[in-house]
Amino acid sequence: MSNLYDVTIIGAGPVGLFTTFYSGLRSLKTKIIDAEPAVGGKIRYFYPEKIIRDIGGIPEIEGQELVKNLHAQANTFQPIIVCDERIIALHKQTDGTFELVAENGNKHRSKTIIIAAGSGTYEVNRLEVSGSEAYTNNLFYDIKDLASFRNKTVIVSGGGNAAIDWAQSLEPIAKEVHLVYRGENFKGHEERVKEMHASSIFVHVNHEITALQGGTNNLQSCIIHCNKNGSTTKIATDAIVVNHGIKVDLGSMLDWGFDISDYGILVNQKMETSVPGIYACGDVCTYPRKMRIIAAGLHEGPIALNSAKNYLDPEADHVAMISTHHENFN
Ligand SMILES: Cc1cc2nc3c(=O)[nH]c(=O)nc-3n(C[C@H](O)[C@H](O)[C@H](O)COP(=O)(O)OP(=O)(O)OC[C@H]3O[C@@H](n4cnc5c(N)ncnc54)[C@H](O)[C@@H]3O)c2cc1C
């Protein structure tokens, strides 16, 4: 079998996985490649146990359950799924096809490329408090096991959606949950913020964690400082969950000749990048009013794929037939 693929998708996060399914639906020979050892993107990396509530038709689902479902769906048409390979270079060949080069030297050939690389590789912003390195067992930058916080007093530091989500997920499990936020107005969804204020979570706005107290890996308390009036408060604490955002790195991808804006690959309504034959979808792409959420990417992926299909076959329909009646499901 030729090792030239119709479509190669870079990034096996939720968007890449769904795009892989859709590619099979359109009978394209498909490969998907991810730098991480397993599929799932940010969901696997940051919030496998968080409840996701903003996907149409799925009132709530745990992150890892969604990844499992997307993975199974992606496998419907037997694509090639490659993990643990970070793509570091892209070369256009004289015959119009592309060659992708992985960090380990492996090469992948494809007629079209869909970039679903999210934010590239990620690194969390650490808690910047002197001596915090002594508490690595008490400091968390994601939650992989909610049950391990049972009956503990937990401080969540941060003010975005994810921080609020963590505080709310912890509330029924932990003994006490405090949310410490240096700002005043939460950046999370209004409804979630309202629910949080109505819950048992202790909310400390205009506060920052300034000191940790206890012995090595035995956190006892932490000091929070009010940036409005300078007062300090001591809170007995077993664990701190930090959600101060992430540093992202798209690496060499930004030099592959695409138009870039707002730290994303600029696409048009067809999810075309400025390089013919290469499309982008999900968190990695940008356009006016872009939303970096799963639901948006699940819409963009099929558009990107349909554009790739039309690039390969200008006569092909620009959408798949309604999937329920697709011949591949008979
Ligand atoms: C803490 C947190 C909570 C969130 N909660 C929600 C929520 O409740 N609801 C919601 O809709 N959204 C939520 N989001 C946002 C959501 O996770 C993203 O919108 C979604 O993951 C984007 O999917 P993606 O497939 O485009 O990118 P990603 O999930 O980022 O996946 C991209 C994949 O590409 C791979 N990759 C990158 N560069 C390369 C390379 N060079 N070579 C090979 N592979 C590469 C990465 O390893 C990664 O696996 C949350 C995000 C965070 C951080």
pLDDT one-digit tens code per residue, 6-51: 999 999 999 999 999 999 999 999 999 999 999 999 999 888 888 9
How many angstroms is it from 122 CA to the middle of ligand 1? 10
How many angstroms is it from 66 CA to the middle of ligand 1? 13
Q: Is there an atom of ligand 1 within 6 Å of 87 CB? A: yes
Write the pLDDT tens digit of every residue in 149-188: 999 999 999 998 889 999 999 999 999 999 999 999 987 7
CA dihedral of 244, 85, 301, 330, whole degrees rounded to 10? -130
pLDDT band per the 50, 70, 90 thresholds, residue 1: very low
CA distance linking residue 76 with residue 50, whole number of Å: 26
Sign of CA dihedral 31, 118, 269, 263: negative
Q: Is there an atom of ligand 1 within 6 Å of 36 CB? A: yes
Average pLDDT over residues 275-288: 97
Q: Residue 297 has what pLDDT?
A: 98
Q: Is there an atom of ligand 1 within 6 Å of 303 CB? A: no
Helix/strand/coil for 330: coil
Kindly report the backbone phi and psi dihedral angles of residue 64, in degrees, each rounded to the nearest multiple of 5, phi listed first.
-65, -25
Q: Which residues have C-beta within 8 Å of that of residue 324, sequence separation ≥ 6?
A: none
Mean pLDDT across the chain: 93
Kindly report the backbone phi and psi dihedral angles of residue 81, in degrees, each rounded to the nearest multiple of 5, phi listed first.
-110, 120
CA distance linking residue 103 with residue 84, whole number of Å: 10
Write the pLDDT tens digit of every residue in 55-75: 999 999 999 999 999 999 999
How many angstroms is it from 329 CA to the middle of ligand 1? 29
Q: Is there an atom of ligand 1 within 6 Å of 242 CB? A: no
Q: Residue 251 has what pLDDT?
A: 82
Amino acid at 267: V
Average pLDDT over residues 108-136: 92
Q: Is there an atom of ligand 1 within 6 Å of 162 CB? A: yes
Q: Token match 């992202």: residue?
A: 248
Task: Count the helix, strand and coil residues of the chain and give each as a percent rounded to the nearest 5.
Answer: 30, 30, 40
Domains recognised in the chain with CATH numbers: 4-122+246-329 (3.50.50.60), 126-242 (3.50.50.60)
How many angstroms is it from 256 CA to the middle of ligand 1? 21
Write the pLDDT tens digit of every residue in 245-268: 887 778 888 889 999 987 799 999
State yes or no: pLDDT of 220 exceeds 90.
yes
CA distance linking residue 128 with residue 167, whole number of Å: 20
Atom of ligand 1 nearest to the CA of 86: 42
The reply, when asked if residue 34 is annotated as ligand binding, is yes
Task: Name the closest-CA residue to atom 26, ligand 1.
Answer: 282
Query: What is the total residue count of the chain?
Result: 330
Task: Name the closest-CA residue to atom 5, ligand 1.
Answer: 162
Average pLDDT over residues 221-230: 96
Average pLDDT over residues 269-291: 97
Helix/strand/coil for 213: strand
How many angstroms is it from 218 CA to the middle of ligand 1? 33
Q: Residue 162 has what pLDDT?
A: 86
Q: Residue 94 has what pLDDT?
A: 97
105 pairs with which residues across the strands? none
Q: Residue 2 has what pLDDT?
A: 61
